[in-house]
């Protein structure tokens, strides 16, 4: 692998938040309501342009949850959206039409609600997860956190689906193999800078984005974890049984999280791990800009 660094910076945007008891995401956090931000990432590649990782919430979410049974989603996790993502991008001088690639970590509504805004982007998603959801009826889709009405009518024709993850993440990071779990990845581009990482468990077709920036690596891991407590090496801060009820595979979730924890320990400061709902990433960096 060549030491090529076409990505110099990226920025995290908060596209709304939902509220539910803290103990759902992390055992021992109590039943008091806690805000969970919906973070998305904007990455600029010197050759391939702007890459967006997820969309967070969008006004379209409220449109699609007016009817039953979709309204159950909004009632279960109340959503607040002060400023939509597209308005935040415009404030930074970025028209949503210039976004060239939009990577979907998975198909839960808090990650895809804004898809219809990005009319010029090529979507990137795991095909098996998508096909699995398409076999479900409306009720079951809602129970899986998926609102079909959030997808653009031309979604399939605009999506680059991924099925195979041939590369080892530990090899990409030049770490020794770990016999218990070795996360697998697929190159997004052919320059060795950016990879899609298979992160099964939380939802069908759940993936992350691994990219090299200024000699180090960043792993955007979606909902593979929610809080810093989830990353405790001793496993003391894992999600509660309530959270596990809605997972695609609790066993795979644990295996994936174990692999991320070990990867983080072994890579040290060469790897930054960012979860889509981890509010701690804003501590000491209120602008959420990373260089």
Complete DSSP assignment for 48-96: TEEEEE-----HHHHHHTSSTTTHHHHHHS-EE-SS-HHHHHHHTT--G
pLDDT above 70 covers a percentage of the chain that reads 93
Residue predicted with more confidence, 209 or 233? 209
Residue 128 has pLDDT above 90, yes or no: yes
Q: What are phi and psi of 100, to 5 degrees?
A: -95, -35
pLDDT (tens digit per residue) in 39-63:
999 999 999 999 999 999 999 999 9
What H or E segment, with its residue span, contains residue 12? strand 7-21
Mean pLDDT of 136-162: 96
pLDDT score recorded for residue 23: 62
Question: Alpha helices, DSSP H only, in 92-168?
Answer: 109-112, 127-134, 138-143
Nearest to 58 by CA among 110, 125, 124: 110
How distant is the alpha carbon of residue 55 from its chain centre? 9
Which residues 6+ apart lie within 8 Å of 220 measured at CB?
Answer: 41, 53, 105, 208, 209, 210, 274, 276
Phi and psi torsions of 150, nearest 5°: -75, -15
State the residue for tokens 């070990």. 262
Strands 271-274 and 289-290: unpaired
Give the mean pLDDT of 96-101.
Answer: 96
Helix (H, G, I), strand (E, B) or coil at 175: coil
Q: Under a CB-based contact definition with an 8 Å cutoff, are residues 261 and 245 in contact?
A: no
Taking the C-alpha atoms of 179, 184, 187 and 193 in order, what is their torsion angle to the nearest 10 degrees? -50
What is residue 239's predicted lDDT score, i.e. its pLDDT? 74
Strands 7-21 and 79-80: antiparallel
pLDDT of residue 51: 97
Q: What tokens were used for 201?
A: 């468990």
Widest distance between CA atoms in the chain:
52
Q: How far apart are CA 13 and CA 16, in angstroms?
A: 9
Q: Is the pLDDT of residue 96 over 90?
A: yes
Half-sphere exposure of 24 (CA within 13 A, CB side): 17
CATH superfamily of 7-281: Ribonuclease Z/Hydroxyacylglutathione hydrolase-like (3.60.15.10)
Of the candidates 267, 263, 241, 253, which has an alpha carbon nearest to the alpha carbon of residue 21?
241
pLDDT, tens only, 15-43: 999 887 656 666 666 677 788 999 999 99
* Mean pLDDT for the stretch of residues 208-224: 95
Report pLDDT for 182.
83
Give pLDDT, residue 161: 98
Q: Give the pLDDT of residue 24.
A: 64
The Cα–Cα gap between 276 and 18 comes to: 12
In the predicted structure, residue 1 carries a pLDDT above the cut 60:
no
Give the pLDDT confidence score for residue 270 in this predicted structure. 93
Alpha-carbon span 2 to 18, nearest angstrom: 41
For residues 150-157, give the mean pLDDT: 97
Give dist(CA 174, CA 289) in Å, integer: 27
C-beta of residue 55 within 8 angstroms of C-beta of residue 99: no
Question: Tens digit of pLDDT for each residue in 160-183?
Answer: 999 999 999 999 999 887 766 789
């Amino acid at each position: 692998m060549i030491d090529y660094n076409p990505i110099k910076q990226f920025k995290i945007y908060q596209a709304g938040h939902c509220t539910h008891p803290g103990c759902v995401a992390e055992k021992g956090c109590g039943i008091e309501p806690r805000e969970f931000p919906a973070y998305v990432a904007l990455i600029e590649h010197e050759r391939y342009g702007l890459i967006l990782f997820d969309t967070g919430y969008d006004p379209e979410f409220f449109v699609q949850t007016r009817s039953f049974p979709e309204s159950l989603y909004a009632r279960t996790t109340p959503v607040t959206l002060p400023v939509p993502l597209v308005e935040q991008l415009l404030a930074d001088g970025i028209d949503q039409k210039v976004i060239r690639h939009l990577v979907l970590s998975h198909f839960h509504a808090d990650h895809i609600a804004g898809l219809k805004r990005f009319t010029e982007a090529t979507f990137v998603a795991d095909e098996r997860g998508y096909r699995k959801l398409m076999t479900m009826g409306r009720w079951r889709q809602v129970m899986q956190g998926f609102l079909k009405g959030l997808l653009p009518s031309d979604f399939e024709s605009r999506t680059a689906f991924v099925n195979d993850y041939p590369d080892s993440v530990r090899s990409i990071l030049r770490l020794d193999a770990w016999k218990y779990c070795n996360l697998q990845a697929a190159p997004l581009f052919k320059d060795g800078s950016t990879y899609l990482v298979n992160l099964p468990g939380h939802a069908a077709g759940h993936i992350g984005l691994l990219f090299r920036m200024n000699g180090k690596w960043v792993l955007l891991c979606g909902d593979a974890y929610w809080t810093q407590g989830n990353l405790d090496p001793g496993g003391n801060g894992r999600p509660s049984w309530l959270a596990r009820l809605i997972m695609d595979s609790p066993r795979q979730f644990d295996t994936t999280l174990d692999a991320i924890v070990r990867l983080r320990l072994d890579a040290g400061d060469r790897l930054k791990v960012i979860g889509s709902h981890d509010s701690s990433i804003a501590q000491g960096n209120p602008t959420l800009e990373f260089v």
